[in-house]
Structure 1
Amino acid sequence: MSTTADATPGGASAAAPVIPRPPNAPRPAEGWRRYLRAARQPRGAIGLSLLGLLVLAVLLVPVFSGGYDQQSATTFSSPSWRHLFGTDELGRDIFVRTLYGLRSDLVLLFVGVPIAAIVGTLLGIAGGLSRWLGMFLQRVFDIILGFPGLVLGIVIALILQPGVSALLLTIAIVLLPGYGRLARAALLTQEQREYVLAARVLGVPRRRVLLRHILPNALDPIIVHTAIAMVVAIFMETGLSLVGLGIQPPQPSLGTLLNTGIRFLSLAPMYVLGPTMVLLLLALAFSLLSDALNEAVTRTS
């Protein structure tokens, strides 16, 4: 019986070795369909609807407002159709400032969390290149986990000065170990599978096995974890801004609005209640999405 190696001079193989497909591994198209099915579930649909409404409000706020720092002579006015959350100590519309603050938070989430996901996942599977590298990275993750997120954020803010850069770095570093450990767990599980052992026998480079075969099998828990990480990042921004180390005035964020509004709680309760409701709706949207994604993944795995 002839083989591929016999078809070329010197017995060299003319084609790259074919790695057996992992058992029960969904194809890429099937994976995307599972995530779309999660959006059709009640929790997924509600979560996406809430998130969509919040994003739409953020996109439309420049159309019906003159900016987040537009002042008026009417201070601490009660909620009305003109000012849904009333006005603050400078006569600025609290509802408008809340939406601009939500925009600041969404920018932080959609930039900081993906950075943590990409870097953490790559570091987690990097242990497949070297046993010692994997052990070293795990110790680094343990050290990061040993610092409370708020304390780490305070240290970073004091070094870099409070602002967007410090918040982004804090979010990325605090969320890094979660992604790294998920990727590491997937690596240790997949390394013992037959298709990985077959790839090693065929001489396939480790880097190729990690990126093309092990990494795709780690995507499900990483995607589910991302929705949870969004909630964590929301409250991290709020916590740092509450102590004055987040986004700096006059640019608003949900945390800075709460920080200022607490001082005027008796005069304008909506100064605190308005941003708090938006904050909870945002966290609820990502929590529902996380539940729907987790259910879709576990049902089809």
Structure 2
Amino acid sequence: MSELPPRLRKTEKSTVPSTHAVRTIEGLQRRLTPNATLRRYLAGFRSPRGMSGLIVLALLAALALLAPLIFPDGYDQQSANSLAGPSLAHAFGTDDLGRDLLVRTIYGLRTDFTIILVAVPLSMVLGTTLGLIGALSRLAGSLVQRLLDIILGFPGIVLGICIALIMGAGWGALVVAITIGGLPFFGRQARAALLEQMNREYVIAARALGIRKGTILVRHILPNSIDPILVSGALFVVVAIFIESGLSIIGLGIQPPEPSLGSLLNVGMRFIEQAPMYILGPTIVLILLAMSFSLISDALNETVNRK
């Protein structure tokens, strides 16, 4: 007892942290280093599902990133050969203006990646922050949960339609719709992880040591809650892909002539009988993109459960 601060020696016996609890806090800080966490996640990709998802995603990302180098003429190069079938020159055929559908699909994939890489991390950070507010104030946490319940009452497509009508169709409306639509997804996950961690021995010991709530939240609760949040993030990417596609299909997403996977499907539905590949090509790429993130989510979930 001599090594404890004087104010702790005067507290009741039940509130004095045990030596084991204090060591638990120190041990968690040592084990939850960024390098150890990264190695644990990378180990999850050694499974067949993780490797498959990572390979497919890497190929799609490479095509999207290198699109300006592979197809320097751009995605709006027109020709007189409209609605042509698949050939060696045009693997997916051409559209109604004679533009190469494979080129437009890859540039559309590039557009989808930019939306995902902005909207999903932003939604994850904001949603997690809102979900963890309850650790600082019970009243604020309850108010935030009611707000998330209201957002949850709107399906993603309906919410996206409302935002697109207010902001105007386009890239910005898609990012805002996906960001807001994901807040309940991450906020509820963070809230559940918070409630699970609040009664753990290391949190109780940290409180008894007089550590501030903010410090406990950032240094102890958040690192131990990050696993399910990351798994949810990989899973929500699939939802974001279909929100973009759904809004673009009904004409409230990316606007022509800029391509996206959803906008290609929107136009392709008019010519499905003359040129089936107008629909089939972007659909295959869309399924591969969603499948890769789904496999990665499964691999991360398996790693977390094994831990």
Percent identity of the aligned residues?
56
Q: For residue 191 of structure 1, report the CA deviation from its aligned partner.
A: 0.8
Give the secondary structure class of the aligned counterpart of 1:21: helix
Separation in structure 1 between the aligned mates of residue 221 and residue 245 of structure 2, nearest angstrom? 36
Any conservation in 2 of the 1:83–1:94 contact (CA below 8 Å)? yes
Say what the alpha-carbon RMSD is for the aligned residues: 1.7
Partner of 1:122: 129
Of the three residues 55, 73, 96, the one matched with 2:61 is 55
Partner of 1:34: 40
What is the CA-CA distance between 1:2 and the residue it aligns to?
Answer: 4.8
Could you tell me which runs of 5 or more consecutive residues in structure 1 were left unpaired when the two chains were aligned.
7-17
Distance between the aligned counterparts of 1:90 and 1:2, measured in 2?
83
- Out of 164, 167, 191, the residue aligned to residue 184 of structure 1 is 191
Please say if residues 265 and 272 of structure 1, whose CA atoms lie closer than 8 Å, have aligned partners that are also in contact: yes
Q: What does 1:1-301 correspond to in 2, within 5 Å?
A: 2-3=2-3, 5=5, 20-22=23-25, 26-28=31-33, 29-65=35-71, 66-300=73-307
Per-residue CA deviation, residues 157-209 of structure 1 (Å, 9 max, x unaligned), is 00000011110000001111111111111111111111111221221110110
Match of 2:13 in 1: none
1:13 matched to which residue of 2?
none
CA gap 1:19/1:116 in 2 versus in 1, 3 angstroms:
farther
8 Å Cα contact 1:79-1:86 kept in structure 2: yes
8 Å contact from structure 2 (residues 82, 96) kept in 1: yes
Change (3 A) 1:20 1:105: same
Residues in 1 aligned to 2:280 and 2:136: alpha-carbon distance in whole angstroms: 51
Residue 68 of structure 1 contacts residue 97 of structure 1 at CA under 8 Å; is this kept in 2? yes
Matched residues in 1 for 2:149 and 2:23: separation?
35
Cα distance between partner residues in 1 of 2:279 and 2:188: 37
Shift of 1:75: 0.7
Encode CA deviations 1:60-117: one digit per residue, 9 max, x unaligned: 2222321011111111111111101000111100000000000000111111000000
How far apart, CA to CA, are the structure 2 residues paired with 1:64 and 1:296? 36
SS of 1:40's equivalent in the other structure is coil
Q: TM-score, normalised by structure 2?
A: 0.90
Q: Which runs of 5+ in 2 are unaligned?
A: 7-20
Partner Cα distance (2:24, 2:154) in 1: 41
* Alpha-carbon distance change, 19 to 120 in structure 1, aligned in 2, over 3 angstroms: farther
SS at match of 2:257: coil
Residues 264, 271 of structure 1: 8 Å contact kept: yes
1:30 CA displacement: 2.9
Contact 1:20 1:198 in 2 (8 A): no
Distance change in 2, residues 1:140/1:201 (3 Å): same
CA distance in 2, matches of 1:2, 1:142: 49
TM-score, normalised by the number of residues in structure 1: 0.92
